[in-house]
Structure 1
Amino acid sequence: MLEGVLARLDEAGNLVPRFTAPRCLLERQAVGGCDACHATCPHGAISLGMVGQSVQIDPAKCTGCGLCVQVCPSGALEYNLEPALQSVKDQQAPDRRATPDASLTCSRSGAGGPSLPCLGRVTPALLSAAGAWGTPLTLLHGDCGECPVGAPDVPARLERVLDEAQRLREPTGQPAQVSIRAAQPEDAGRSLTVSRRGAFGALFRAGKQQVAQSIPDQPLPFIDWSVPEDRTPQEWVWRARSLKPAPPEDAAILWPAPLVDEKCIDCPVCANVCPTNAITRDLQPDGGVHLLLNLSACTGCMACLHSCPPQAIHAQSHWRPAAFRAPLLLRESDTVM
């Protein structure tokens, strides 16, 4: 009965990911640009153009596989993470006793349970969140070599995503319990297993957080760039949220981000090219400037590093937990360009 109700809650949606132009390295005119989405799309659905039309997606060719989102270094392309996150959360047993693993399957796998158009949509944030909840998660893919939705190397891509999630989770001491395998005939009988709390929540939850046999596509609203909190992509918001249990204060958290050295000439290039405004310049009353980094908002794209005229920026891969609590002072200067 529950599955029938949930199935009726499903909605047809838009397979095309949201494109947020201010986050695109092409729109930001970062040195070296970026063609990751175009190079990755297995269906030729993405074309690159001039500033103002830097990324164009042909909806007739886009299958919703999510591979472009998976490789976008700045979160300019994204899907709503919350339906998949909620699906995994609602499959968690309240007392965490031995129960069937939570699962996500690709739509072509033939397996039962919640499905995505392609497991190319799985990102480190999703797997890290499953680890934070202590929920074992099985990812079931079909015959990727013959699939018209994704690409033959989706399983290999999933292994890389899992590796990144595990490195993010390492300081928490609680790795994600994720297995990746091809669906088998017996998986066709997988049922939608949710906790009682999850079941009632699924019945009454508003659209963006449904648990259904097919996790619905729901286009994200446009970003209001005047709200600083909204400039950070969902992927990195959830990466930070999933750092549970809280790492010890002396732990090293994997989060590539820039540092600035003495060669800095106090120009505005790094702040101008930053796709999430994680780097800002705070002009002081005395005419100086503070260069600040909001670490949680940094996607590690390193557009600042590649664009810095005096090459004064280098990457630091690991940070202490305290670095996430307040803006970091990258440089303090008494002059400004």
Structure 2
Amino acid sequence: MLQGVLARLDDAGNHVPRFTAPRCLLERQAVGGCDACHTTCPHDAITFGMLGSSIQIDPDLCTGCGLCVQVCPSGALEYNLEPALQSVRDQQDLAQRAAPDASLTCARSGAGGPSLPCLGRVTPALLSAAGAWGAPLALIHGDCAACPVGAPDVPERLERVLDTAQALRAPTRKPAQVTVRPATPEDASRSLTVSRRGAFGALFRVGKQHLAQGIPESPLPFVDWSVPEDRTPQEWTWRARSLKPTPPEGAAIPWPAPLVDDTCIDCPVCANVCPTDAITRDLQPDGGVHLLLNLGACTGCMACLHSCPPQAIHAQTHWRPAAFTAPLLLRESDSVM
């Protein structure tokens, strides 16, 4: 048993994000493809490969900054969100703490408290969840211009991530209380908070300050594509979960997703290119087909829109809360290609 625990803790040092090939727009052969991760990586760690492994990440060049994950439109690249979420929740739940707010810090900032290798790993879901919990959160960065881990514009990227999170929070009428700022000398005294679940693991990290102050990584297991719920990336699962308090019935939730008009020719392209299988075709006994959308699984990548042969797909940017409760019928046809 102890060997298994030690093996899992050893795996926690894996800094390369998980790549789920079926979620990649290159793998789905969507029109226009995607090069967001390659273009964004500040260390030239990402190259393109053959189908089945379209994205190649050099572990010797990857610093674990997370900027590729932050820009991936379909969740093909991701880190485990739950350790960071747990850290924020733990800090919010503590009755006594050294700082007036929860914090996530850059590991090279000199600030104490829970840290990430780079705040480039912060995503809208994390900030929206902090808003749902009512947790004031400080994102404390170091000298990004001189940092060898991330990129000089990480603070600006964080502001854009926060804008996305605040737009998601707006229908709940409970904005996230997030501050993005550089570290100060006083931040060095921020204390680390560890949940009871994390205390046992911390015993094995004694003497390793860079890990003891960090949020443990646990590599995500490979996605079991036979389980539809697992096809949705954690980022979008948590974006939907963080819509608390529940928005009023008439609220408009920002969630870009496709609509289909009458020029549709009932071909299977949109379902074929969808990276999370949010669009499905339900073949009917009479030979027709229902085109369905699982809104909560849609990442808004719009591969369907760009790939649609007759250009019958258009983006709708806002949806009512009821649209998340059951699959939406995009089109009903009595024939199928």
TM-score by length of 2: 0.92
**Partner residue of 1:285?**
285
Q: Partner of 1:112: helix, strand, or coil?
A: coil
Please name the residue that 1:150 is paired with. Answer: 150
Matched with 2:5 is none
Q: Which moved more, 1:179-188 or 1:96-105?
A: 96-105
AA of the residue aligned to 2:310: P
1:67-110 CA distances to partner (integer Å, 9 max, x unpaired)? 00000000000000000000000001467999610000011100
Which of these residues, 191, 203, 216, is aligned with residue 199 of structure 2? 203
Partner of 2:23: 23
* Contact preservation (8 Å) 2:98, 2:191: no
**Equivalent position of 2:180 in the other structure:** 180
What are the residue-to-residue correspondences of 1:123-134 with 2, within 5 Å? 123-134=123-134
Q: 1:181 to 1:203 in 2, by over 3 A?
A: same
- Residue aligning to 1:166: 166
User: Does 1:61 pair with 2:61?
Assistant: yes
Q: Which letter does structure 2 place at the counterpart of 1:119?
A: L
TM-superposed CA distance for 1:13, in Å, is 1.4
**Aligned counterpart, 2:318:** 318
C-alpha distance 212-262 of structure 1, shift in aligned 2 (>3 A): farther
Structure 2 alignment gaps of length 5 or more: 1-8, 204-210
Deviation at 1:301, TM superposition (A): 0.1
Given that 1:10 and 1:216 are in contact with CA atoms closer than 8 Å, whether structure 2 keeps it comes out as: no
Deviation (angstroms), 1:204: 5.8
Provide the identity percentage: 82
Counterpart residue identity of residue 297, structure 1: A
C-alpha separation between the residues in 2 aligned to 1:233 and 1:103?
24
The corresponding residue for 2:215 is 215
Q: Aligned pair 1:300/2:296, yes or no?
A: no
Corresponding residue for residue 3 of structure 1: none
| Counterpart position of 1:45 | 45
Q: How does 1:233-272 map to 2 (within 5 A)?
A: 233-272=233-272
4+ runs deviating over 2 angstroms: 9-12, 93-99, 200-207
d(CA) in 1 for partners of 2:27, 2:122: 26
1:127-150, CA deviations, whole angstroms, 9 ceiling, x for partnerless residues?
000000000000000000000000
Is the CA contact 2:99–2:190 (under 8 Å) kept in the aligned structure 1?
Answer: no
**Using a 3 Å threshold, how does the CA distance of structure 1 residues 47 and 205 change in structure 2: closer, same or farther?**
same
Once the two structures are TM-superposed, the CA of residue 192 in structure 1 deviates from its matched residue by 2.1
Q: Distance in 1 between matches of 2:97 and 2:15?
A: 36
Q: CA RMSD in A?
A: 2.0
Question: 2-side partners of 1:171 and 1:18: how far apart?
Answer: 32
- 2:114–2:193 CA contact under 8 A, matched in 1: no
Q: Which runs of 5+ in 1 are unaligned?
A: 1-8
CA distance in 1, matches of 2:314, 2:65: 34
Q: Is the 8 A contact 2:131 2:176 kept in 1?
A: yes
What number of residue pairs does the alignment pair up? 322
TM value normalised by structure 1: 0.92
Q: Deviations over 1:271-323 (max 9, x none)?
A: 00000000000000000000000000000000000000000000000000000
Distance 1:10 1:225, change over 3 A: closer
SS at match of 2:92: coil
Amino acid in structure 1 at the alignment position of 2:199? L
Q: Which residue of 1 aligns with 2:74?
A: 74
Per-residue deviation, 1:10? 8.9
The one-letter code sitting in structure 2 at the alignment partner of 1:325 is T
Contact 1:274 1:303 in 2 (8 A): yes
SS of the equivalent of 1:145 reads: helix
